[in-house]
């Protein structure tokens, strides 16, 4: 018998961190391609990620719970029986609504419509956590409609997590978009989340950057901006919407320069990050843009990023440290990742 609270706890951990130790409760989700098992770890798939971007967290978790086969069969039979009764009363509109809500479950309904499916204690144990009480026809129908937003998506493979940005930010990597996650003591094997960086001995502030994916991204972004300037021209710039209050947290815009040096505003920084990840086969989970603006302003408070000449750039003192022995992990071991980001920007520049 499944312990519903334990199952929901596991799903919430997967929602946040992308992988956990595998458990028998999760086997039905592997059969449905929402997760896969690698080296005794349950790891989310692109199908999971795609579905997570279409619904709220609460609806997402509840929908995955409702895919548990004994519960799903009971719910399908229950709504079918009620819809049949509606049809017998001649309410064609309500019957059409039922049919319209279950296209992906229609075959299963036909298979079980004449079955006797008992309302077991296990099935009853799901009602409170999922439906906040006994499930009614309307609430079940709504849940079934949301569940069918899940679509089969071919998964992407990524190597086991390495020790440097070059070995971590690789195609196929699944990356937590939530910037507020509690740091893991030990990093995941296949998904990138905040974790206490211990792979190499580095100073505390460098360790903090390497421990947080989006701080690492911001530093690499700053390095790309600096490289363009070192080459004698502007390539990309990130700026505040409200320049009079540049030190107050706000929306950030991205500007790209074409090959002739003309400037183009290409939109919000959060959307830029999401688009870069999508184009580079880096898969954000949940499928939402990270609050990268908050990361930037936090790094300004730490004096790692400054506002200078109308744009946000790396603090010169901090940037110089990246080119010393203490910053070598970021400078030398993030070149592939930096080139991935720069190549994306170059594609945008060429397309202007």
Whether 15 and 60 have beta carbons less than 8 Å apart is answered as: yes
Q: What is the pLDDT of residues 110-151, one digit of tens each?
A: 999 999 998 999 999 999 999 999 999 999 999 999 999 999
Which of 330, 327, 242 has its CA nearest to residue 293?
242
- Distance (Å, whole) CA 193 – CA 191: 6
Beta-bridge partners for 285: 176
Whether pTM > 0.85 for this model: the answer is: yes
Domain boundaries, the chain: 1-155, 165-351
End-to-end CA distance of the chain: 59
Name the phi and psi angles at 285, rounded to 5: -130, 135
Q: Give residue 94's pLDDT band: very low, low, confident or very high (50, 70, 90).
A: confident
Q: Which helix (H) or strand (E) holds 90?
A: none
Mean pLDDT of 24-30: 97
The SS3 of residue 11 is: helix
Band of residue 90 on the pLDDT scale cut at 50, 70, 90:
confident
pLDDT in tens, 258-299: 988 899 999 999 999 999 999 999 999 999 999 999 999 999
Q: What letter does residue 244 receive in the DSSP assignment?
A: G
According to the model, what pLDDT value does residue 140 have?
Answer: 95
**Mean pLDDT, rounded, for 80-106:** 84
> Angle between the 57-66 and 4-17 helix axes, to the nearest 10 degrees?
130
List the one residue out of 34, 103, 14, 25 whose CA is nearest residue 71: 25
d(CA 40, CA 146): 30
The SS3 of residue 351 is helix
Angle between helices 213-230 and 204-211 (to 10 degrees): 110
């Amino acid at each position: 018998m499944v312990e519903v609270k334990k199952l929901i706890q596991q799903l919430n951990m997967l929602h946040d961190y992308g992988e956990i130790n595998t458990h028998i409760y999760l086997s039905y989700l592997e059969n449905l391609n929402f997760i896969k098992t690698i080296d005794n770890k349950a790891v989310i798939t692109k199908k999971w990620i795609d579905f997570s971007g279409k619904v709220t967290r609460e609806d997402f978790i509840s929908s995955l719970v409702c895919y548990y086969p004994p519960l799903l069969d009971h719910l399908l039979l229950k709504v079918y029986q009620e819809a049949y009764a509606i049809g017998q009363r001649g309410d064609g509109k309500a019957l059409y609504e039922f049919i319209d809500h279950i296209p992906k479950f229609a075959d299963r309904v036909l298979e079980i419509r004449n079955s006797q499916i008992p309302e077991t204690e296990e099935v009853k144990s799901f009602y409170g956590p999922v439906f906040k009480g006994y499930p009614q026809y309307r609430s079940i129908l709504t849940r079934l409609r949301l569940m069918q937003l899940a679509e089969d998506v071919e998964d992407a493979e990524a190597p086991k997590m390495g020790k440097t940005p070059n070995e971590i930010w690789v195609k196929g990597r699944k990356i937590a978009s939530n910037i507020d996650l509690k740091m893991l003591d030990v990093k995941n094997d296949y998904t990138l989340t905040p974790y206490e960086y211990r792979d190499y001995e580095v100073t505390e502030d460098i360790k903090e950057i390497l421990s947080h994916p989006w701080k690492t991204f911001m530093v690499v972004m700053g390095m790309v901006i600096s490289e363009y300037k070192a080459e004698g021209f502007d390539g990309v710039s990130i700026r505040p919407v409200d320049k009079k209050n540049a030190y107050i947290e706000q929306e950030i815009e991205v500007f790209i320069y074409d090959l002739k040096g003309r400037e183009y505003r290409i939109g919000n920084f959060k959307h830029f990050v999401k688009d870069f990840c999508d184009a580079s086969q880096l898969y954000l989970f949940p499928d939402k843009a990270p609050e990268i603006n908050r990361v930037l302003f936090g790094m300004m408070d730490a004096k790692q990023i400054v506002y200078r000449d109308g744009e946000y750039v790396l603090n010169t003192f901090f940037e110089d440290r990246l080119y010393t022995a203490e910053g070598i992990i970021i400078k030398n071991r993030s070149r592939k990742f930096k080139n991935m980001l720069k190549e994306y920007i170059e594609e945008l520049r060429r397309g202007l």
